[in-house]
Structure formats: C-alpha cells, structure tokens
Amino acid sequence: MNKKIFFAVFVLLFLLCNNLDAQYFGKNKKQYNIFEWKYIESEHFDVYYNDGSKPLAEFSVIALENALLSIQSTLNYRITARIPVVVYESHNDFQQTNVINMYLSQGIGGVTELYKNRIVIPFQGSYSQLRHVLHHELVHAVINDMFYGGTFQTAVNTGAVPIPLWINEGFAEYESLGGMDVETDMYMRNLTISESLPKLNRISGYNAYRVGQTFFYFLEKQYGKGKITELMNKLKLFKSLEVAFRNSFGMGIEDFSDFWEMEIKKWYFPDIAIYKTPKEFASVLTNHEKDNCYYYSSPAISPNGEKMAFISDRDGGIFSVFTAKVENYNERTFAPKRLVSSARQLDFEQLNVLTPSISWTPDNKKVVISAKSGGEDAIFMIDEATRNYDRILLGMKSITSVNCSPDGKYIAFIGIKNCQSDIFIYDIESKKLTQLTNDAYTETYPVWSPNSQSIYFISDRDGELTNNNSAEKIKI
C-alpha cells in the first residue's frame, strides 16, 4: 500500500508540475492549425498523422516495428498492448498538441506519456533523427508496459516504483543509438577529464542521457549485452536499484559506482596527452559561471571583423541575441549588448537554439536569424544599431540555418516543406522564394561562396548528386 501511495503521489506531482508549466505567461498552448487526423495500423502500432503528412507516418511505422524487434530482444520482453503514436510535421505543430498538457520547448524532441502510454513526436527535417527519436521514445513505451503495465491506473494498482531517470533515459539512448555515438563520446571525455563525472546514484539533468547511455555501453563491453537484460529484469522483479545491482554484479550501487568511475577514467585520461584544451590555443571571452548562465552559441563575426553576434541565456535565463565588439579578445573588456530576446515580443517568440545560425548583411548593419513567430518560423533582419527588425514570413513551419549572401542580395536557409528539409533562397529585393533542392535527403548549414554564386552544405545524400535546380535557373 505504501508503494502504491508513493507512486500515485509521484505521478500526481509530475502532472501538477506539467499543468503549472503550461500556465506560465507566454507559454500557453495556442492552437494555430486545425488538424485533420488519419492513422495507419501496423502489427503493434496505430500511427496518427495530419492530412498531408502520410509519408512521415509510413516511415514511422517501419522504423517503429524495426525498433521494437531490437528493444524486445534486449529486454527479453514482449509488449502486451498496441501503442498509439502521434507524428507531427514540425516542432511548431508539435507544440500545439493536446496529448501532453505541458509546454513543449524546443529542447523536447518527443514525449511518451504514461497515462495512456502514447508517443508524441515531431518531424524536424531529418529522417535519421526521426528514426532515432522514434526508437528512443519507443523504449520508454516498452518500459512503461514492462514495469508499469502500460497505463497510469495499472501502475498504481501494481504498486510500481518509478525507475531512476538515468536508467530510463540512458537505456533509451543506448538502445536507439546502437551503443555509443560520437557526440556522447565527446561529452563524456570532457566530463571525465574535468573531474565532473557524477556517481551513478547522483546522476541528474542532461547527464541522465549521456552518462546513462555510457553506463549501458560500459555494461555491454565489460560483461556482454546479456548483463543489460539481467539488470533490467531484476530491477523489474525487485523494484529496488540497490537489490538489482547486488544480484547482478555482486556489489551495491555505491561500490559499483567506484568501480565504473575508475574504468571510465581509464578510457579517457590517456587523451589528456593527445588533445589541447581551448584555453591552450584560443582566447576566452565569456565565463558562464561568472555570467550566471549556461549557454553561449552560434558566434558570428561581422564582415569587417569588428563585432560578433551570438546567442546566450545570460539575459535572466531567456535566450537572446547579443552583439559585442571583439577588439583585444579580452574577457574583461567583452561587453555584450542585448539585441533581441525571445519570449518577450509577440512576433519573436522562440529562437531555434538547437539548429542555430546567425548571419550578417555585408554592410555590417543587420543581423539575420530565424525564430518562431506564431504557428510558423520567420526570418528576422535586425538593425544592430536601433534594434528594430523586419520580419519575413514565408509560410514555412520550420526555417533554420539562415545565411545572407556576401553581395547582400539573397538569404539561403533550410526549410521544411512537404515532409522534407530542403535549401531555399530568398531574394531580398524582389521577395521571390526559390527552392534549390527537392528530395528526402537532409540538408544542413548552407554557406555561400565569396562570389555569391555557389552554396556549400552538409547532407546525408552520399553519392546521390542529381539536382535539377541549377544556378542558371534560379538566377544567382
């Protein structure tokens, strides 16, 4: 009975926090679109999609069924009920969902809720990322079914106790990424070398994802993948992480944490002699501890080299665009000026901080950036001196990686249209929009050549170089 009460209070507090979060000023869930829902059935899933985004649903069904095979094999468990999945065409659409009551900030790329064990996820331009996030969220859905019976009611009735966040999120990342990935490896190297590696029973926040993922990768390398299956099933059986660790490893979590920490240090400490720290080859301009913030991103030097624009949360925790003179490259003389803040203007709601890009016009007077504006994204051209800005609405639900051409005539950017991300070019004078690529491959970070005649970009198209839109056709 005590376990039932504990779990009920835990979940009710969680739901209450979500409700409060949804009521914060400027974070109300405004409905911009009328969705016409349809769905596709597969053996284990009902995938819901808005009319016009059927390709996303078809891709999701295949990705989910493949992911389920892997998850069920690792856990040695078979789900007992069908899982509903809701796929949105963009993050702006995703923010309007009423499946989840909480406000869904840009950092939330998908949600699995316990009440009905439903997955809700947005498409953000990359099918590779979509596959990863579907797999990640499906891990949570399978865990919900395995540990809690698949719904809030059965969880309370069975007296289930919530498993630690780092176990839940760490296993989801490990499973969906197939072990370790480059980004997590870099993160763990920095965390370990800087002596910031947390104890296993003290992992919290973002570390739950990266450190938790590394923990399961470590288990696979140290003991074999079967040890992961054993640990997760014993955690389900004993409902205690301490007991599960003692039965799986012959030691409690504190002793195992000391053992794990030493092994991880053996992985990364040799790298100290190989790599240089940024302070060894560059000048430091900011200090997040002194500035009482966490985030500095997307530095963009003006064409004349005198100023820099960047994104930071140093403005009271609100993401804002700042500019600063970069002369002398000295932290003590670095004095940023806030240009514009998200969540404080009606038409400048949220910066695309996960896919950021800042550009300058060639006359060094304006900063170009994209941001959420209502139910879509817009391009903003901000006057650096007056802070006034022009808003360019193009009817696109997602606009990222804006880049102004060196001659000042065009803006290249990545836009999501018809369930795919492509490169678009906006003619500033004529206000004409041209689609440069038109395929399902992912394009990111377009950069102009010095003569404004070519664009370089990153893509997952491998050897597929077919392109019917030549420079002559788009007149640049």
pLDDT by residue (tens digit) across 245-299? 999 999 999 999 999 999 999 999 999 999 888 888 988 888 888 888 888 899 9
3-state secondary structure of 322: strand
Q: What's the CA gap between 39 and 57, in Å, rounded?
A: 8
Q: What's the CA gap between 402 and 368, in Å, rounded?
A: 7
Is the domain spanning 2-272 CATH 1.10.390.10? The answer is yes
pLDDT for res 16: 38
pLDDT at 12 over 70: no
pLDDT in tens, 120-153: 999 999 999 999 999 999 999 999 999 988 666 6
Tell which residue, 433, 470, 432, 431, has the closest CA to residue 453. Answer: 470
pLDDT for res 157: 61
Give percent of the chain above pLDDT 70.
Answer: 88
Report the amino acid identity of residue 148. Answer: Y
Give percent of the chain above pLDDT 90.
Answer: 65
pLDDT at 221 over 50: yes
Whole-angstrom CA distances from 330 to 152, 284, 285 are: 55, 7, 6
pLDDT in tens, 82-91: 999 999 999 8
pLDDT at 352 over 90: no
Residue with tokens 């369930």: 419
pLDDT for res 43: 96
Average pLDDT taken over every residue of the chain: 87
Assigned CATH for 278-474: 2.120.10.30
Query: 94-98, 212-216, 402-406: which has the minimum mean pLDDT?
Result: 94-98
Where along the chain do its domains lie?
2-272, 278-474
Query: 11-20, 22-31, 232-241, 254-263: which has the minimum mean pLDDT?
Result: 11-20
Return the bridge partners of 122, or none: 88
Q: What's the CA gap between 278 and 78, in Å, rounded?
A: 48
Contact 145, 117 (CB under 8 A): yes
